[in-house]
Amino acid sequence: MSAANRGITRRRFLGQTAALTVGFTLAPLVRGLAQAPSVLPGSLQKNRMLDGWLRINPDGTVTAFTGKVEIGQGIVTALAQIVADELEVDLGRIEMVSGDTSRTPDEGVTSGSRSIEESGSALRFACAEARGILLETAAAKLGAPLSSLRVEDGVILAPGGVRATYGELTTDAMLKREATAKAKPKPSSAHRFIGKSVPRRDIPGKVTGGAAYVHDMRLPGMLFGRVVRPPSPRARLVSVDERATRALPGVVAVVRDGSFLGVAAEREEQAIAAARALRKSAKWQETASLPPSGRKLFEHLRRQPAQDAVVSEKNDAAASAVKTLEATFTRPFQAHAAIGPSCAVAQWQEGKLHVWSHTQGVFPLRRELAKALTTPASDITVTHREGSGCYGHNGADDVALDAALCARATRGRPVKLQWMREDEFRWEPYGSAMLIDLRAGLDAQGNVVDYHHELWSHTHSTRPGESDGTNLLAAWYLKDAQRPGSARNIPQPAGGGDRNAIPLYVFPRQRVINHLLPEMPVRVSALRTLGAYANVFAIESFMDELAAAAGADPVEFRLRHLSDPRAKAVIEAVASKAGWRPKQAGDGRRGRGIGFAKYKNLAAYVAVIAEVDVDRATGAIKVPRAFAVADAGLIINPDGLANQIEGGVIQSTSWTLREAVSHDSTRVLTRSWADYPILRMTEVPSVDVSLINRPEEKPVGSGESAQGPAVAAIANALANATGRRIRDLPFTPERVKAAQT
């Protein structure tokens, strides 16, 4: 379940670079520079036509287009607020179209908490420019000075009572021009909608039983599909009895292509029965290919061949260390565990494919489907429909190919194909396991003078369209199998496995090393925050250990090592909000802890103080309450931002206390909720969120900003409560009890 969707249930829960050669004249170079296109803000840079973002309709309504998609984070509502303010049109007359390869700009993937920065910036400047064009047109038509005009809800008013509506002024050619981004957006003092908690557009269908998700779609003549996956990642199909399955009631198609098996039937229960029959008759050849489990997994990671990179290094003059601390932290493979299993609808008509998917990147998915199906991308349309609990790189893209393969055998009838719970747990891409070694030295005054951070991790991004292979699951099992893409690391400053590995604290001597493990025996990709969750857990836990070694309070120790005033402000604010008492000791059962990070060192600042209650007899941990303070620059929708922070804290609590994927040498053993417990509604902490609005600063991403500070706050609260520190996630009762001995 996405963090924002959880919040629905409970309010608190929420060209090539050429070398320059000396010549006789610089004139050609100067001319080339003069003709280079200007750099435009956000996603305008790659989608430069105004009419790609905006349409003024004859009735005065506005249609705005975004390549970013709704995954429960409220982004479509926030973008509508930006459009309404910049055009000075009421929110009720703004239609938002998102994520459709036939209609919207290509904005890549909705990920990394970048939608407001990329799509929001593009729409803000596009709408500001369109408003300027409309005002200039009105000035000419009404014979009034431009400076005398004003706009009220899409109506331009001139002195003397003359007026013209946007609909009257607009022509088809008006916005068929390249954006310049020279029109100045409105100042925050003139905002009518930005900064207000307007109702979310995606919520009503979710709470009234309406058609909210792709799972709810119904098309005329639609069939229902299921896939039969191999029992293990490297298994290959030896034989299967297709005839018996074809004879079952309602079965329309049985698809076998290499080791890919799928069915389509008139009714959903018939498709499930057919898939079970097909699975029962299938015989597979399996290979033991998975890494060791348990503690041996992390020893295994450390020994694997790696691509090594120093991602940060400083060697400023400083005093010598008089005390050195070392610690190792681990994070297991973790699943997205979407509440609604991945689902897609596909239909072939006259050789063209239309897919409805909860993918986070309609254009990258279209390109990947084209490769997998050996079909021109121009013959494929991908339309986004929201998924139940979709975030990160889960099975949304994979199920789209499954549906397309099954629909190709149904003579034009659409197929809705949904994974079973077992498919979701065993075949989605996980967040990579991670191993982190930290070492730091303190001087005689208790200041950190040396800091060393070394991490081992698989890639955190194998999304479709991002590498040289085909990153769709079924493509690897076809008769003409395609290979998965090569491992890659997202470069700094955003980072992948090393996201947030570079501390924001000021340490004079510092070295951060990332060991990217290119071999991927376990399928991995983007789980929310990527490496930031584990890196912030390690850094912020270690900061508490260093503070204790220095005899300092954890809050004071952090402030002492920070130079960024906004970072200090969120820490000071959360300490005040929570009533933090310096050096307050736990009582053996209850404790408090703090965690802080600036997400990716680029986006929102968040500080969290968590309270824990430990049952020393059973080892069970409860997190009854947490406080969070966030600074995301200019706030677009306060309630939406608060939901994101609340949801992030809650999701992180579940990861931290419960979640880990299990496997043996051949198979993934996690198949159901019984194998993968998550936080229950009754266990959700009360989260008190405070927001720092900075209208003078640009709005930045916040959707993944709270998870790192939250895990650190819980870890530090546990250490404060019990006097024992646990450095291996998750904090299961068994680990807590073992730490007490």
Mean pLDDT of the chain: 93
Q: How confident is the model at residue 36 (pLDDT cuts 50, 70, 90)?
A: low
Burial environment of residue 286 by CB neighbours within 10 A (0 to 12, 13 to 18, 19 or more): middle
Q: What are the structural domains of the chain?
A: 37-205 (3.30.365.10), 214-286+338-427 (3.30.365.10), 434-460+496-740 (3.30.365.10)
Q: What residues pair up with 256 in beta bridges, in sequence order?
A: 261
pLDDT in tens, 637-671: 999 999 999 999 999 999 999 999 999 999 999 99
Q: How confident is the model at residue 467 (pLDDT cuts 50, 70, 90)?
A: confident
Mean pLDDT for the stretch of residues 117-145? 96
Mean pLDDT for the stretch of residues 685-706? 96
Per-position DSSP letters for 394-456, written without gaps between them: -SHHHHHHHHHHHHTTTTT--EEEE--HHHHHHHSPBBPPEEEEEEEEE-TTS-EEEEEEEEE
Mean pLDDT for the stretch of residues 232-256? 97
pLDDT for 12 beyond 70: no
Quick one: which of 712, 574, 591, 727 has its CA closest to 649? 712
pLDDT of 347 reads 98
pLDDT in tens, 440-463: 999 999 999 999 999 999 999 999
pLDDT in tens, 418-444: 999 999 999 999 999 999 999 999 999
Q: What is the 3-state secondary structure (H, E, C) of 29-94?
A: HHHHHHHCCCCCCHHHHCCCEHHHCEEECCCCCEEEEECCCCCCCCHHHHHHHHHHHHHCCCHHHE
What's this model's pTM, rounded to 2 decimal places? Answer: 0.92
pLDDT of 350 reads 95
Check if the beta carbon of residue 329 is closer than 8 Å to that of residue 436: yes
| 638-657 and 707-722 helices, crossing angle to 10° | 50
Residue type, 539: I
pLDDT of 293 reads 95
Cβ neighbours, 10 Å, residue 204: 11
Output helix, strand, coil percentages for the chain, rounded to the nearest 5.
Answer: 35, 20, 45
pLDDT of 27 reads 46
pLDDT in tens, 368-407: 999 999 999 999 999 999 998 878 899 999 999 999 999 9
pLDDT for 301 beyond 50: yes
pLDDT in tens, 305-320: 999 999 999 999 999 9
Mean pLDDT for the stretch of residues 667-684? 96
Residue with tokens 């999701």: 651
Question: How many Å apart are CA 494 and CA 440, to the nearest integer?
Answer: 24
pLDDT in tens, 471-521: 999 999 999 999 999 999 999 999 999 999 999 999 999 999 999 999 999
pLDDT in tens, 141-197: 999 999 999 999 999 999 999 999 999 999 989 999 999 999 999 999 999 999 999
Cβ neighbours, 10 Å, residue 694: 17
pLDDT in tens, 215-231: 999 999 999 999 999 99
pLDDT for 300 beyond 80: yes
Question: How many Å apart are CA 328 and CA 294, to the nearest integer?
Answer: 15
Residue type, 270: Q
Quick one: which of 126, 147, 155 has its CA closest to 63? 126
pLDDT of 30 reads 43
pLDDT of 28 reads 44
pLDDT of 209 reads 87
Q: How confident is the model at residue 35 (pLDDT cuts 50, 70, 90)?
A: low
Mean pLDDT for the stretch of residues 599-611? 97
